[in-house]
Structure 1
């Protein structure tokens, strides 16, 4: 299976050995961040630093002034990686080491943009704004995201792109010093706390036959027992995606859930199609475009909810989160089994043990993913992993390739 590792430009810039070290893992591709959200990241092997603090969402290349002139919503520049174009510097080093570079573009996840433009964000049923979650139904947000996708994806030397957060974002975001875990929320409750009631979404609900007031009242009433401490039942995410949506329908009723689903699915699919089309037009040649995706269309977050058949009709493939137990992985990959010839289904496996990953079982996990229809692997995240984690990754990829291990033995 073709494999790719995620990486930040700051993992490479200033470290002359980084590119060769990555190539030595046995991956064929690096998915390199070109537009990314705020983060604090460990760099365990860099010769100059151990922690990089990206204070806000930013692009890691110089944005085109002509594209963004006069626009309120525009990408922010960064100043935590030295150089005018850290993406390009890292990409050149990785390419010289024999690795194919694809861009990693985070779209609808931007706390600074939401803080500076509060009218642009998701507002829940209680009126609370989510500054980290731009509302993708708003025309100004959609225009910004589509243009950002086109610009950030098609960087010089890149052979393809992976678009993250290309859909609805909601409550489930690890905000700075997050304090939202005091009341456990099931998957259905997470969804209801992520539904947007901004003016644009309210109008959309009305056009489908229900006023925003009616919908808001249904959502608030459904959540009241949760705040009172009632048992919300098992986490539907553990039970499965279908069970999770059934719980939403039970909480707010078929009519309300139908309107929410119709509006939000329509908006997300429209954005996804527009973003993929804009990237392809900007590339003006062969260029692979994948979406980080969840096969349950109602899901919010970095892996945006999609309809499996519909998304593979316009994108070249998907990157699917494969965390959790065997059922969770099956639940994530199996819906993409009926796919067009040539479509990519990449299983995204965490290989950082400190983040709950299992690099020691990578070979077995990859084989299981392949049995479910995965065609490629994504390894999260080569820059964050310890030396021991990377040793496990290297051995697993050699095993999968049928090459001798470091001991000289043939491992497959």
Structure 2
């Protein structure tokens, strides 16, 4: 099984010791670095860098200089990064990793951009109550789709990249790691989060209507279905006859966006360039692991990166050569279990995983990384990497 690790450019750029640490992982069977080229806003720990400990990425940005010709005259365009990743931070990090024995693949976040929603509120998902989600661009809007498809092609195919992994290549919705979040007073399960994620912007209202669901009636049905949740009297109800057309519209919109994004990357990439999606097998899932139809996405892309519980659903639809990468967290402070890496990898392989992704080599503590190295040795002894 090939194994890869996630990194941000600021984990490597300006740290002369970083390539050596990564080369040590390569000697233990890690073959790939998935390096962020376009990323959302975040506050990240960088525990080993000689110049900083906390990196505050103030807004979603590309971590390289965007091509002025590509974006000339367009109202919606990618935002360059600030001082957290100045200039071509991605390119400098990728160059520093040359010679470590690791392939570099780009990591591209698409439908997750709070600055876009703040500056262009019309681009955001709108829930059934009329609330906008500025972090969630609506992928059904033509102008948003044009931005994200162009971003996919540009950010994915960076010089020297052997492939890409597209994150949030589909619907984003209610769930979001937001600063000082105060949304947990009423617990929302998967059904409730789905209902809170249904979009009612003009593009989606038109789409629901074309699919046979009156958008006003659908919004009213969503509010009625959620009423017991707010009252504390029960879980969310159903949408009756409006459920199927609503789901069909959203699944179709996500699917066509994925088609366009992957096609744009393919058109820009050299032969042999590998395209993976961070994905969930539930077509109606929102978030970083976008909802997909497994048969469709595995016929479209070269494979997926998925959480361990979801690996089997993709493996069941895999063809020879399809990548099904199990995404394993190895950061203890973020709920990961580096001490279980070997066991979790064996279980993932039994479920059909062909590769591993370790999240996240830059965020992990020294203790976590040492544990990972030991677990990789154990896994190699089992024939795992």
> Contact 1:102–1:159 (CA<8 Å) still a contact in 2?
yes
264, 281, 286: which is aligned to 1:278?
264
Note the 1:122-141 alignment, pairs <5 A: 122-141=125-144
Deviations 1:59-90 (A, max 9, x none): 00000000001111100011223552110000
Task: Give the equivalent residue in structure 1 for 2:21.
Answer: 21
Matched, 1:186 2:189: yes
**2:61, 2:15 → 1: CA distance?**
22
Measure how far apart 1:211 and its partner are. Answer: 1.0
Task: Give the equivalent residue in structure 1 for 2:244.
Answer: 258
Deviations 1:67-114 (A, max 9, x none): 001111100011223552110000011122221000000000000001
Task: Give the equivalent residue in structure 2 for 1:398.
Answer: 377
Task: Give the equivalent residue in structure 2 for 1:64.
Answer: 67
**1:82, 1:204 → 2: CA distance?**
39
Task: Give the equivalent residue in structure 2 for 1:100.
Answer: 103
Task: Give the equivalent residue in structure 1 for 2:348.
Answer: 369
Task: Give the equivalent residue in structure 2 for 1:315.
Answer: 301
Matched, 1:45 2:31: no
SS across alignment from 2:300: coil
**1:123, 1:97 → 2: CA distance?**
46
Task: Give the equivalent residue in structure 2 for 1:244.
Answer: none
**2:384, 2:103 → 1: CA distance?**
26
Measure how far apart 1:411 and its partner are. Answer: 12
Measure how far apart 1:309 and its partner are. Answer: 0.6
SS across alignment from 1:313: helix
**2:41, 2:244 → 1: CA distance?**
34
Once the two structures are overlaid, the 10-residue window that deviates more, 161-170 or 277-286, is 277-286
Task: Give the equivalent residue in structure 2 for 1:326.
Answer: none
**2:303, 2:85 → 1: CA distance?**
34
> Contact 2:311–2:326 (CA<8 Å) still a contact in 1?
no
Task: Give the equivalent residue in structure 2 for 1:2.
Answer: 2
> Contact 1:289–1:315 (CA<8 Å) still a contact in 2?
yes
TM-score of the pair, normalised by structure 1 = 0.90
Measure how far apart 1:338 and its partner are. Answer: 2.7
Once the two structures are overlaid, the 10-residue window that deviates more, 90-99 or 137-146, is 90-99
The RMSD of aligned alpha carbons is 1.6
**1:178, 1:140 → 2: CA distance?**
29
Unaligned runs of 5+ in 1: 233-247, 323-328, 404-409
TM-score of the pair, normalised by structure 2 = 0.97
> Contact 1:320–1:333 (CA<8 Å) still a contact in 2?
no
Unaligned runs of 5+ in 2: none
Deviations 1:185-219 (A, max 9, x none): 11100000000000110011111122100100100
> Contact 1:289–1:316 (CA<8 Å) still a contact in 2?
yes
